[in-house]
Amino acid sequence: MLPAEVLEVLDVVRRHNTWRKFECINLIASENTMSPLAKALYVNDMMHRYAEGKPGKRFYQGSIFIDILETRTSDLLAKLFNVRFAEVRAISGSIANAIAFRSFASVGDVALVPALQSGAHISHTEFGVLGALGIKHVEMPFDLDSWNIDVDKAVKLIESIKPRIVVLGASLYLFPHPTKPIAEAAYSVGARVVHDVAHVLGLIAGGVWPNPVHEGADAVTASTHKTFPGPQGGLILTNREDVYKLVSNNVLTFVSNHHIHRLAATAVTAIEMMHFGSAYADQITRNARAFAEELASQGLPVVAENLGYTKSHIVAIDVRKFGGGAKIAKLLEEANIIANKNVLPWDRPQDAPNPSGIRFGVQEMTRFGMKEGEFKEIAKLIADIIVRGAEPSSIRRKVVELRKDFVKVHYGFDLPEDLGKKTIYEFIEMGI
pLDDT at 426: 56
Residue 432's pLDDT band, with cuts at 50, 70 and 90, is very low
Which domain, by its residues, includes 74?
A: 39-269
Q: Please check the confidence at residue 419 and state whether its pLDDT lies above 90.
A: no
| Domain-located, residue 308 | no
| Domain-located, residue 81 | yes
Where helices occur in 81-115 by DSSP H, the ranges are 93-104
Cα-based angle 32, 29, 204 (whole degrees, multiple of 5) = 75
In angstroms, how far is the first alpha carbon of the chain from the final one?
Answer: 32
pLDDT at 102: 98
User: Using CA atoms, how far apart are residues 373 and 157, in angstroms rounded to an integer?
Assistant: 45
pTM across the whole model = 0.96
| Domain-located, residue 299 | no
pLDDT at 220: 98
pLDDT at 430: 47
| Domain-located, residue 217 | yes
Instruction: Tell which phi-psi region holds residue 369, choosing left (phi > 0), alpha (psi between -120 and 50) or beta.
Output: left
Average predicted confidence (pLDDT) for the chain: 95
R_g of the chain, CA atoms, integer Å: 22
Residue 423's pLDDT band, with cuts at 50, 70 and 90, is low
| Domain-located, residue 50 | yes
| Domain-located, residue 222 | yes
Residue 416's pLDDT band, with cuts at 50, 70 and 90, is confident
Q: How far is CA 330 from CA 106, 226, 316, 324, 341, in A?
A: 41, 22, 16, 10, 9
**CA contacts within 13 A on the Cβ side of 418:** 5
User: Using CA atoms, how far apart are residues 138 and 288, in angstroms rounded to an integer?
Assistant: 32
Residue-level length of the chain = 432
How many domains is the chain partitioned into structurally?
1
Q: Please check the confidence at residue 90 and state whether its pLDDT lies above 80.
A: yes
**CA contacts within 13 A on the Cβ side of 321:** 7
| Domain-located, residue 98 | yes
Q: How far is CA 228 from CA 78, 82, 269, in A?
A: 14, 16, 8
pLDDT at 415: 86
pLDDT (average), residues 355-368: 98
Residue 294's pLDDT band, with cuts at 50, 70 and 90, is very high
Residue 250's pLDDT band, with cuts at 50, 70 and 90, is very high
Cα–chain center distance at 18:
23
Phi and psi at 260, nearest 5°, equal -60, -30
| Domain-located, residue 251 | yes
pLDDT at 100: 98
pLDDT (average), residues 115-129: 94
> Which helix or strand (DSSP H or E) is residue 245 part of?
helix 241-254
CB 101 within 8 A of CB 133: yes
pLDDT (average), residues 172-184: 98
Q: How many CB atoms lie within 10 A of CB 300?
A: 21
Residue 92, classed as helix, strand or coil, is coil
Contacts 24+ apart (CB under 8 A), 249-256: 249/103, 250/99, 250/102, 250/103, 251/87, 251/89, 251/90, 251/99, 252/52, 252/53, 253/99, 253/102, 254/90, 254/95, 254/98, 254/99, 254/102, 255/89, 255/90, 255/91, 255/95, 255/99, 256/50, 256/52
pLDDT (average), residues 17-42: 96
Q: Please check the confidence at residue 357 and state whether its pLDDT lies above 60.
A: yes
Q: Please check the confidence at residue 295 and state whether its pLDDT lies above 70.
A: yes
62-76 confidence digits (pLDDT tens): 999 999 999 999 999
pLDDT at 422: 57
Q: Please check the confidence at residue 431 and state whether its pLDDT lies above 50.
A: no
CB 313 within 8 A of CB 171: no
Q: Please check the confidence at residue 32 and state whether its pLDDT lies above 50.
A: yes
What CATH number is given to the structural domain containing 212?
3.40.640.10
User: Using CA atoms, how far apart are residues 231 and 259, in angstroms rounded to an integer?
Assistant: 11
Residue 339's pLDDT band, with cuts at 50, 70 and 90, is very high
Q: Please check the confidence at residue 379 and state whether its pLDDT lies above 70.
A: yes
Q: How far is CA 382 from CA 102, 147, 358, 362, in A?
A: 43, 24, 11, 14
pLDDT (average), residues 166-182: 98
User: Using CA atoms, how far apart are residues 156 and 162, in angstroms rounded to an integer?
Assistant: 10
